[in-house]
């Protein structure tokens, strides 16, 4: 098993004690038409992982879990990066 690390610029899915069930439950609760496609989701998360405001899966600008915000079409980055 690969050891996952905890760092300030990590997403929840990259951390040891992440609650992936919560993330998947939220994403599956969104209607398909309200969800970005996988490529857009990963693009948004890529931007978040390079942002200085990311801290252990949380956006320090707005307090959201970036993996949840990035999933919804209507969501926007509070710093206007996506």
Per DSSP, 34 falls in state G
pLDDT of res. 47? 97
The length of the chain in residues reads 82
pLDDT of res. 21? 74
Give the containing element (helix H, strand E) for 17.
Answer: none
Secondary structure class of 35 (helix, strand, coil): strand
CA nearest to 42, candidates 9, 70, 75: 70
Per residue in 16-56, pLDDT (tens digit) is 565 677 777 888 898 999 999 999 999 999 999 999 999 88
Average model confidence (pLDDT) for the chain?
A: 85
pLDDT of res. 53? 95
Per DSSP, 32 falls in state G
Give the pLDDT band of residue 59 (cuts 50, 70, 90): very high
Dihedral through CA 56, CA 81, CA 40, CA 63, nearest 10?
A: 30
8 Å CB contact between 75 and 69:
yes
Record the pTM: 0.75
């Amino acid at each position: 098993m690969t050891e996952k690390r905890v760092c300030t610029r990590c997403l929840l899915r990259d951390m040891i004690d992440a609650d992936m069930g919560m993330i998947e439950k939220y994403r599956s609760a969104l209607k398909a038409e309200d969800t970005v496609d996988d490529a857009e989701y990963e693009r948004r998360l890529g931007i978040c992982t390079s942002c200085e405001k990311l801290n252990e899966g949380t956006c320090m600008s707005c307090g959201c879990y970036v993996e949840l915000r990035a999933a919804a079409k209507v969501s926007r980055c509070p710093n206007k990066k996506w």
